[in-house]
Homo-oligomer: A and B are copies of this chain.
Amino acid sequence: MKAETFKVACSSCNLRELCMPVGFDQNDMHKLDEVVTTRKKIKQGDLLFENGETFTSLYAIRTGFFKTSVASEDGREQVTGFQMAGEIIGLDGIVNDHHTCNAVALEDAEVCVMPFDHIEDLSREFPVLQKHVHKIMSREIVRENGMMMLLGNMSAEERLANFLVNLIQRLFARGQSQSEFILRMSREEIGSYLGLKLETVSRTFSKYSEEGIIEVKQRHIKILKPDALKQLVKSPNCN
């Protein structure tokens, strides 16, 4: 499907606080509008970018939900992250000028296209933007450190609790319900992300359910005992 593209301004975007630096004046703000050249709509199931593709831009998610994944030579897939509104994807492409992972929309989505050349040019002009870019990249490094802890040291129960608590926090930051939500990804995708098989994910959901911690109906999740869930998370949180 062909993606629509059109112009838009950050200065009037309600997600500004999530993906743009805070604390600079009106003038600077309008200059920063240049970071985003266009928007792009992505249909559910479609790729935003894929492994091997030439890197040109970072993408700020306006609406929708993505997963990123890497693949091994023999075809095994590892989901490396799930991204939602206000988050930035594409950082993997900077180092070698081409992407090393795939980004797939898990629901119809819209992203702001930010050509990386523009970002670098504007970064030199606006220290606040420069700092922001550095922090976004560092945050991703710290998140992945947390994922290494999760994948290397934690039990299935701890992994899934961690996953849910993290999701809840991010929904909270976006003003959505923390107690009830719909998972945008399959059991298999959750499993891939957490280094588990889909059956184990399903069984662990069932276990939480039996313990009255959550209510599960397919992809519909209701959090009954958020504290019990947080109790299960015994490691630095993976944002």
* Chain A residues within 8 Å of B, Cβ to Cβ: 70-74, 76, 78, 80, 91-96, 100-101, 120, 123-125, 127, 130-131, 133-135, 137-142, 144-149, 151-154, 192-195, 234-236
Tell me if A's interface is mostly helix, strand, loop or mixed.
helix
Please determine whether A145 and B144 come into contact, CB atoms closer than 8 angstroms. yes
Please determine whether B73 and A235 come into contact, CB atoms closer than 8 angstroms. yes
**Chain B residue at minimal CB-CB distance from A139:** B95
Q: What are the residues of chain B within 8 A of A148 when measuring CB–CB? A: 70, 78, 80, 144, 147-148, 151
What's the least CB distance linking A80 to chain B, in Å?
Answer: 5
Cα A234 to Cα B123 with chains together (Å)? 39
Partner of A151, one of B92, B152, B234: B152
Given contacts A78-B153, A141-B144, A149-B78, contact A236 B130 (CB under 8 A): no
Q: What are the residues of chain B within 8 A of A95 when measuring CB–CB? A: 135, 138-139, 141-142
Given contacts A95-B139, A137-B141, A234-B72, contact A195 B153 (CB under 8 A): yes
What's the least CB distance linking A200 to chain B, in Å?
Answer: 12
Please determine whether B101 and A145 come into contact, CB atoms closer than 8 angstroms. yes
Cα A133 to Cα B169 with chains together (Å)? 30
Please determine whether B236 and A80 come into contact, CB atoms closer than 8 angstroms. no
